[in-house]
Amino acid sequence: MMDEVLKQITPTEAETREMKEVCQALIGLVGSEMSRLGFDVQVAVYGSVSRDTWLTHEKDIDLFVKFPAKYSKKELEDAVTLVGEKILTGLEKRFAEHPYVRGIFSGHPVEIVPCYRVEDAKDRISAVDRTPFHDRFVRDNLGGRHGDVRLLKQFLRGIGCYGAEARVEGFSGYLSELLVIRYGSFEAVLKAASEWKRPASIDLLGDGDGARFPGDPLIVIDPTDPQRNVASALSLQNFSLFTFAAKQFLKSPKESFFFPKKRVHSKDVLAGLLRRRGTEIIQVSFQTPSVIDDILYSQLKKAVKLFEQMLVKSGFTILNSGSSAGENTVLAFELEHRVLPNARLHFGPHVNSKNELDFVEKHRESKKALGRPFIRGERWAVFVKRETPDAADFFKQFISSKKLKKKGVPSYIAASIEAGFEIAIGESVFENNREFYTQFLDPKFPWENSDV
């Protein structure tokens, strides 16, 4: 089975030849344009293409332009922007520690990334200055195990853990390569991972300090920079998922770990699931902000957490929450009850405390009180009328009041919601986003999707 999987994910000779030709042409064009602009630079392709660990469906090219340290970051940005505008189509400016550009060249997605030319990764001026050293380390130490890296990457992709970006919070390509270097093969990585306990620590050169990264479930010291954890983007959720998937695969190897099937329930099936659970769903939808994925998904996570906290503070019990982004974005919340009782128990000061008379007088006259204050144990208490017992009304009031950014909603999400939103409840949410709601209401591991 492994040989068949490897055959499906390894680029053919024709694909490899075409990729080399495109890279050579791109390096030549970018180098010429930089020289024309008066910059003394070195241009090279790094990443999985350079290290021959790319997968057959991956066409991305990471082109690095290495500048002398005498240039400012603004000069680097301007230079790659000018060159990108001339060479790439569909140009987009992206932002990391400093800006880079992304576009298309000969049918390949290309990122042109400026960095500084340094002698040692420890002398880096920006984070991306490490990349050439990553490339050299992997080339020097991988030792022909390119197939093992490809198998690990596809396995991670299949279980939904491949990629260090905010949307995934998983394993980067470089981290995959380091794991194969450390353990020796794809299967050896899985055997080790199946026994990992948090925090798992890997230090290839023995010169790092794992204590520098408290809270990280997996610590892999960067062999080019001992002050960096290569696995810092990995979430606890995906760490746990990978360790379990490794155990399951070793127990029962199946191709579905590498190539899971999509699973999308019909509206009727989803409605049936919701009825059986006896819960209620509220969905807030709005146009997806025009911003890079790392910013979008980072802000979505913060927005969901903020709304969760506000709902809980108002007395609602949340069983599940999540978000999905396409042309439109949805924030979904599954509640035990959408509508709460009108009465809410409100506790006041202790009996015989200095504020007790103020509390009693205030609530005897309050229109919000649903009765007179009373003593429960050693505390004063009163039943008051809940301001917004319906969670749907809660969302409408909160969102319609505008100024969401000042209330803690992340900037791009706030602006997009304020430009227009819709609230849907119950089974009506299943008109769209059924793949998202399939996993939301009927969670399965990706490799189980082929099971009856």
Q: What integer is the mean pLDDT of 430-449? A: 95
Mean pLDDT on 403-408: 92
Average pLDDT, the chain: 94
- In this prediction, residue 396 carries a pLDDT of 92
Q: Are 397 and 388 in contact (CB under 8 A)?
A: yes
- Of the chain, the end-to-end C-alpha distance in Å amounts to 21
Tokens 């749907």, residue?
Answer: 392
Complete DSSP assignment for 6-30: HHHHSPPHHHHHHHHHHHHHHHHHH
Give tens-digit pLDDT for 292-351: 888 999 999 999 999 999 999 999 999 999 999 999 999 999 999 999 999 999 999 999
The boundaries of every CATH 3.30.70.590 domain in the chain are 267-339+389-448
**Whole-number Å distance between alpha carbons of 424 and 398:** 15
Q: Classify the C-alpha dihedral 282-283-284-289 as positive or negative.
A: positive
Maximum pairwise Cα distance, the chain = 86
Structure-token match 């003593």, residue found: 375
> What is the Cβ-side half-sphere exposure of residue 452, based on CA atoms within 13 angstroms?
0
Q: Is the dihedral of CA 11, 14, 15, 19 positive or negative?
A: positive
AA letter at 213: F
Cα 160 from Cα 168, distance rounded (Å): 7
- Nearest CA to 235 among 208, 198, 209? 198
Q: CATH number of the domain at 267-339+389-448, please? A: 3.30.70.590
pLDDT at 450: 63
Query: β-strand 218-222 against 200-202: which pairing, if any?
Result: parallel
Identity at 368, one-letter amino acid code: K
Within its chain, how far is the Cα of 275 from the centroid?
A: 31
User: What backbone phi and psi angles, to 5 degrees, belong to 450?
Assistant: -85, -10
* pLDDT tens per residue, range 221-274: 999 999 899 999 999 999 999 999 999 999 999 999 999 999 999 999 999 999
In 3D space, the residue among 234, 232, 256 whose CA is nearest the CA of residue 243 turns out to be 234
pLDDT tens, position by position, 64-79: 999 999 999 899 999 9
> In which element (H, E) is residue 187 found?
helix 186-193
- Percent of the chain at pLDDT > 70 equals 99
Hey, what CATH topology would domain 1-129 get?
Answer: Beta Polymerase; domain 2 (3.30.460)
What are the C-alpha distances in Å from 393 to residues 237, 272, 285, 344, 383? 32, 25, 15, 17, 21
Phi–psi pair at 219, nearest 5 degrees: -120, 115
CATH 3.30.460.10 in the chain, residues?
A: 1-129
For 229, the token pair is 């954890």
Helix (H) or strand (E) holding 334: strand 328-335
Here the tokens at position 138 are: 């992997």
Closest CA to 44 of 134, 126, 164: 134
Residue 452 has pLDDT above 80, yes or no: no
Determine the length of the chain. Answer: 452
Confidence of residue 209 (pLDDT cuts 50, 70, 90): confident
For the segment 99-136, what is each residue's pLDDT rounded down to a tens digit?
Answer: 889 999 999 999 999 999 998 888 888 889 999 999 99
pLDDT band at 97, cuts 50/70/90? Answer: low
Contact 443, 434 (CB under 8 A): no
Q: Give me the DSSP letters along 217-263.
A: SEEEEETTEEEEETTTT--HHHHHHHHHHHHHHHHS--GGGTSPPP-
**pLDDT of the residue at 139:** 95
Please, where in the chain does CATH 1.10.1410.30 lie?
Answer: 142-259
Q: Is the pTM of this model over 0.85?
A: yes
Q: Side-chain half-sphere of 428: how many Cα atoms within 13 Å?
A: 9
Determine how many CB atoms are found less than 10 A away from the CB of residue 93.
Answer: 15
Q: Residue 20: CB partners within 8 Å, gap ≥ 6?
A: none
Separation between Cα atoms, residue 137 and residue 46, nearest integer Å: 12
Estimate the share of the chain in helix, then strand, then coil, as percent rounded to the nearest 5.
45, 20, 35
Rounded to whole angstroms, how far apart are CA atoms 13 and 315? Answer: 61
DSSP annotation of 413: H
Q: Which residue has the tokens 């939808």?
A: 285
Q: 142-259 maps to which CATH number? A: 1.10.1410.30
**DSSP state at residue 276:** H
Q: List, in order, residues 6 or more apart from 224 with CB less than 8 Å away.
A: 121, 130, 133, 134, 137
Cβ neighbour number for residue 18 with a 10 Å cutoff = 16
